[in-house]
Amino acid sequence: MKVFLRKDIEGVGLSGEVIKVGDGYARNFLIPKGFAAEVTENNEEFFQKKVKNVENRQHVIATKTSMMAEKIKGIKLVVKRKMHDDGKLYGGINATEIVDLLGQKGISVSKNQIEFDKTIKSKGQYMVTIVLTTQIRSQIEIDVIAE
């Protein structure tokens, strides 16, 4: 199905583009949320006039991603967890928790963008890598302390 994107959607397209997506994705997610409008034979001319010329698409994406990398670079997250007497956590810290903590700071990433050097199972300071693109990676510091 052809749709006109009203908002930038990561991994799909930029606002102002006409793209092809799966019927179910368009009908169940993009159109009900107001992120896109269906392009039919009757309204195709209207949307073609509105299409932005995104010739430098890679440059636009790289610019937005590098701005996000700069925003992420200076972040230090503090995680308070219950621990055993020897400093070991009752449960390890996973990518979903880091995504939630970054979301509270206004940064939207998905859990598959988070890379751990090693699993976090005890108190201390850890560096976690956030993969924004194949070339752009940013690191944040996680400080795990007792509750």
- On the question of a common fold for 2-54 and 64-146, the answer reads no
H-helix or E-strand spanning residue 134: none
CATH number for the segment(s) 64-146:
3.10.430.100
pLDDT over 90 (residue 31): yes
HSE, side-chain direction, 13 A CA sphere, residue 21 = 23
By CB neighbour count within 10 A (0-12 exposed, 13-18 middle, 19+ buried), where does 66 fall?
Answer: middle
Render pLDDT for 111-138 as a digit per residue (tens, 0 to 9): 888 888 888 888 889 988 888 877 788 8
What are the residue boundaries of the structural domains of the chain, listed by start? 2-54, 64-146
User: pLDDT band at residue 146, thresholds of 50, 70 and 90?
Assistant: confident
Domain 2-54 has CATH 3.50.30.50: no
What is residue 54's predicted lDDT score, i.e. its pLDDT?
A: 55
Global pTM reads 0.57
